Amino acid sequence: MAESNSSGDSQSSRRRSKVERVIDEYDLGEAGDTLVRRWTSEGDDRMSLRALADWFNTRVLEAALERNGETPLEGEVDNLYRLLTDDDASAGSRTQAERTLERDGVDPEELRSDFLTHQTIYTYLTKRRNVSREDTETDPIEAAERRVQGLLGRTQAVAEESLGRLAGDQIRVGDAEVYADVSVYCSDCEQTFEFVDLLERGGCDCA
């Protein structure tokens, strides 16, 4: 692992990333350091980008409930998060979860907009925190994930730079965030998966 720290002036002058904004907004403290540690750890302590996104988003959900005076029961946050984000959750179950949040004073759409994708976390780790990790070269899945995430990160950076250059004179845009991802569609089971999700789940349902 390698990490370099920028000066305080440069940190304060640049625009905050979504990860930094959400950490501040939900008072998540050292969550950024935890992302770094868990991504770059070795052995069983190492977490994938997808697992990191789920962990972080669950923390966001828990913080949203607690700042509205709620004390979630054990397992309640994980279950709510699953119902809000899992494609296998029924529409009725998702609606019920959303109503539970609304009753507790949490706007479901606003909450979901603050959830992170694995690509957002990858960009934060590699571009903001300047960390990298040595994946096992004998694992073709980790190697493929690393290559694609690197390409997506560069695509996102180019898009952000282009948008920033054009904003104002050529186009009108507010406080925009750029996302880059690759999806895989299986014509047999007629399902679409994000590339990294497909790798980490070991294939689609018809495989």
Count of domains for the chain? 1
Could you give the CA distance from residue 117 to residue 124 in angstroms, rounded to a whole number? 11
CA 17, 173, 116 angle in degrees (round to 5)?
30
CA 16, 17, 21 angle in degrees (round to 5)?
70
Per the structure, the complete domain to which residue 68 belongs is given by 1-134
Would you place residue 8 in the very low, low, confident or very high pLDDT band (cuts 50, 70, 90)?
very low
Residue 12: inside a domain: yes
Residue 172: inside a domain: no
Residue 178: inside a domain: no
Residue 171: inside a domain: no
Residue 183: inside a domain: no
Return the pLDDT at 57.
98
Helices within the chain (DSSP H only) = 8-13, 18-25, 31-40, 49-66, 76-85, 91-103, 108-113, 118-123, 140-166, 195-201
Per residue in 152-178, pLDDT (tens digit) is 878 888 887 888 788 777 788 777 777
Residue 68: inside a domain: yes
Per residue in 108-166, pLDDT (tens digit) is 999 999 999 888 998 899 889 999 876 555 578 777 877 887 888 788 888 878 887 88
pTM value?
0.74
Residue in the block written with tokens 């302590």: 45
Return the pLDDT at 35.
97
Residue 206: inside a domain: no
Residue 86: inside a domain: yes
Q: Is the pLDDT of residue 9 over 50?
A: no
Return the pLDDT at 135.
59
Look at 47-56, 94-103, 120-129, 150-159 and tell me which has the smallest mean pLDDT.
150-159
Look at 5-9, 91-95, 165-169, 201-205 and tell me which has the smallest mean pLDDT.
5-9
